[in-house]
Chains A and B, each alone.
Chain A
Amino acid sequence: MSGTTPPTVRLANEIARQFHHQPPDTAATAIATHIERFWDPRMRTDLQHHATTAPESLDPVALAAAKLVGS
């Protein structure tokens, strides 16, 4: 499980779980803001890479957030 999941995907999915009670758009924006404030740029780039190459690995809200994140 964790051994094969890329760390950025795991972390983004963990964050997404915390925002499931919110409407998807609101949640995605909040997650993207959180990632921009706390993640190193290389992690953001890595997340965006996975969002492009393996979107199924991401929670839908995390995926939406990844698309909002600036590099």
Chain B
Amino acid sequence: MTILKEPDFGTPASTSSTSVTVEVDGIPVTVPEGTSVMRAAATSGIDIPKLCATDSLEPFGSCRLCLVEIDGRRGTPASCTTPVADGMKVRTQTPRLEKLRQGVMELYISDHPLDCLTCSANGDCELQDMSGAVGLRQVRYGYEGENHLSLEKDTSNPYFDFEPSKCISCSRCVRACGETQGTFALTIEGRGFESKVSPGGLSFMASECVSCGACVQACPTATLQEKSVVQLGMPSRTVLTTCAYCGVGCSFKAELRGDELVRMVPYKDGGANEGHSCVKGRFAFGYATHPDRVLGPMIREKITDPWREVSWEEAITYTASRMREIQSSYGIGSIGGITSSRCTNEEVYVVQKLVRAAFGNNNVDTCARVCHSPTGYGLKQTFGESAGTQDFRSVAAADVIVVIGANPTDGHPVFASRMKRRLREGAKLVVIDPRRIDLVRSPHIEATHHLQLQPGTNVAVVNAFAHVVVTEGLVDAEFVAARCEGYEEWASFIAQPENSPEVVESITGVPAAEIRAAARLYASAGNAAIYYGLGVTEHSQGSTMVMGMANLAMATGNVGRDGVGVNPLRGQNNVQGSCDMGSFPHELPGYRHVSDDAVRTVFEGVWGRSILPTPGLRIPNMFDSAIAGTFRGLFVQGEDIAQSDPNTAHVTAALTAMDLVVVQDLFLNETSKFAHVFLPGTSFLEKDGTFTNAERRINRVRPVMAPKTGKHEWKIVCELAAALGYDMPYKHPREIMDEIAALTPTFAGVSFAALDRLGSIQWPCNENAPTGTPTMHVDSFVRGKGKFVPTSFVPTSERTTRKFPLILTTGRILSQYNVGAQTRRTANIAWHPEDVLEIHPHDADVRGIGDGDSVTLASRVGATSLRAVLSDRMPVGVVYTTFHHPVTGANVVTTENSDWATNCPEYKVTAVQVALRSQPPDPAEAADELTAARERAVID
């Protein structure tokens, strides 16, 4: 399509259910009560000139361009700040208004460089547009007086420039930073003529700016402008698509000039993000065209051989014949595949179908194994569906928000902005996290309770919450009686003294009074919502904790309406979708167990192959079986298991033991060092399909450019299946989705056509919910009655010792994503050039470690080195790092411990020791050391 410009109604929509009718320039228009005159006019097709107003921000009334006349009222009120009243008669164009507006515009232009023809915003400048709209024909004031034209340009941010000489001080950027993003990094410094936008008196890069791009988007001039637009020029066409970073799944307008992507602009009608973005989605797309990308297939006999570039046909034929050879020698179950949460639903679906129908086994798993598999298990057991309960909008109705083991401002920043908005409106916040995340105290937000628990004691805390609810009479008895089962047994368990806050205090480190107060707050709120992340799931009791949270929500009646629920914040863009698509070895698409004869029969009828009724291997089981010699061939779609999975030495030993490792990825990642076949993958800009975000929202991913590899990923998989003797003759990914819909009841109403029509769809989507389901379990739970499950606290077996006296917990930061394969190949590296170890000053002091020192980090399974950063965010005894850089190899130290139910690794609890390193590591040397460590592990 040509460039897509969404209409701007000037001020936000009113949510009132009462209507009023007004007349604008003689045209009657009916709008909700509370609507501004400006918006009412825009609704009737009349655009009132404006500069400081835009419908993503509250009205401000500063530019004085939107003045109108209203019958019976004196003066010329600003239409943006004047609400409509029934029967009001408004005039937007009169000689008086024309004169006033021209006078205002004259003043603006008198202090604005008139370089329109060479300005980067030429063609997309509201100041330019408004000059035309108000009929400005002359400027009586010259440049002789004081002006701002010589103010220095700030180019410090890698993605956008700040050119203050072009600023009209409309405050849209300042308000966007506050209202939309919630960071408040920008301000208007000075008064009167001295007023200017400032990132706290610093450069943008040195300021608290998080580079979300909201200010750039809000700017009506070229003051805040993407560097790519300055460099490449204004884009001329738009492709609507979906971000491929976190599980928020923001909708974007990919704006191109010819075939070149100029910028990504958040889409106002995107259900997940509603026009907002973060630094990754907005700017960090350069990896898609990075020279490191491998664009042709390669093979090699041994992993010590050099890669050999081959044709697609040779690569696929080679892969198929090696897979069949392995099966012939070691059995049907000796090979398998791993699907990727970065790939589309359609790409994932064909991989699991390849494994089940062409490989003939259920050895398929997905990277959700190492993040949210406990969510699938826990919510299925209790609620009956392996998915979160709400849409993101729901948080706007929450009165109490409990954030457990999640760091939304870094991991899910666009959702965090929604959450922060609600918190600024007055909702109460409880944070349960060993680390003092930013949300605990940030501008205009302060958690009522931060329960800084010891890592590994989540279940003890959630049980103590429930104990308070049950023993203090805070149970929603009516809800429980009508909607749930198993309550009596559970209540009897949870009321036992060992679950009381006073008893668990010595285990969790959280004062009993604090737990009691927080539990009362949660239980007595009108609407209380739980949001959680990997700090819940990546524990030996991850699944138990998910069930514990579900119990708590059911006991207090906080399920089944707006503002409540149990909501996983998913790590990767399509974690939900990859799980939905049947990526788990025990479940077919739609979370139906492979042992279900009726379900298998349906799939077998369409697929034309028998499906095994027994589960296959999970990823950790694949590794164990590889070392045992029974699992020898692996197809890995877009996951870097050698970097992301725990206990690197164990993973690399397993990969080395296999006869065939096939990697399908954008880059030669860490796993590809152990691969025999490399099949180049496509970036999200080349994909055609769908992603499903954390709120079950299915979004279209539309191709912005043709596959640089010459082949779509789903097509590669289909050709591999054909080479194995099984046809998957899809001509277009829409046909794959049609098959998914035909076989999966929760997707029955989903199609590319429906998505194009509706924009996005939240599953379940079927004849009962033809446009989707924003909130689940409204009248009844998916499983009928919600099931209370007793959740005994069983401490992890990972304990500190004299040798390893600290606990390491891991996480991610805003600018980087997962193993960093994408973000490290963008300018985001400016914010995070290396992984560091956050250590409490006390722990550092007793070890003689200073801020910035190089340290070794060792656990019982391995050691690595990195730089220390002193921080009191963690309690004494706990250290923290990220895993974005392969040089650091944080997973060298994480262990094989896992969630009892799902084998999700216990990344969040590893006993470690930290010691001062005598020599600072040279990055190349560190990489060599890591490789050597892996090789030693393989040899051992």
Contacts and interface: CB of A to CB of B under 8 A. Distances in A.
A and B: bona fide binding partners: yes
A15 B543 CA distance: 12
Contact of B585 (A2, A18, A40): A40
Nearest to A15: B900
Contact of B595 (A2, A18, A37): A37
Contacts of A37: 586, 593, 595, 615
A20 interface: yes
A18 B792 CA distance: 7
A38 B593 CA distance: 10
B903 A2 contact: no
B901 interface: yes
A38 B615 contact: yes
A60 interface: no
A43 B901 CA distance: 15
Contacts of B181: none
A2 B616 contact: no
A17 B624 contact: no
Given A7-B621, A40-B333, A42-B625, A21 B615 contact: no
B595 A20 contact: no
B792 A40 contact: no
Interface in A1-56: 2, 7, 10-11, 14-15, 17-18, 20-21, 34, 37-43
Contacts of B792: 18, 20-21
B586 A41 contact: no
B540 interface: yes
Given A18-B794, A21-B790, A40 B901 contact: no
Most chain A C-beta atoms within 10 Å of own C-beta, residue among B615, B797, B895, B898? B615
Interface residues of B, number: 32
Chain A at the B interface: SS class = helix
Given A20-B792, A20-B794, A21-B790, A40 B900 contact: no
Interface residues of A, number: 18
A39 B630 CA distance: 15
Contact of B541 (A18, A20, A38): A18
Contact of B621 (A2, A17, A18, A43): A43
A32 B319 CA distance: 37
A18 B586 contact: no
Contacts of B362: 40
A17 B794 CA distance: 7
Nearest to A8: B624
A66 B794 CA distance: 21
B896 A2 contact: yes
A42 B540 CA distance: 23
A40 B540 contact: no
A13 to B, nearest CB: 9
A39 B615 contact: yes
A41 B621 CA distance: 11
B633 to A, nearest CB: 15
Interface string B299-319: 000000000000000000000
Given A11-B900, A18-B544, A42-B333, 6 more contacts: A17-B900, A20-B794, A40-B333, A40-B625, A42-B630, A43-B625
18 contacts: A2-B895, A10-B896, A14-B898, A15-B900, A15-B901, A17-B794, A18-B900, A18-B901, A21-B493, A21-B790, A37-B593, A37-B615, A38-B586, A40-B362, A40-B617, A41-B614, A42-B625, A43-B621
Interface of A: 2, 7, 10-11, 14-15, 17-18, 20-21, 34, 37-43
Q: What are the 8 A-B residue pairs with the smallest beta carbon separation, nearest first?
A: A7-B624, A21-B792, A40-B617, A14-B900, A18-B900, A15-B900, A17-B794, A41-B614
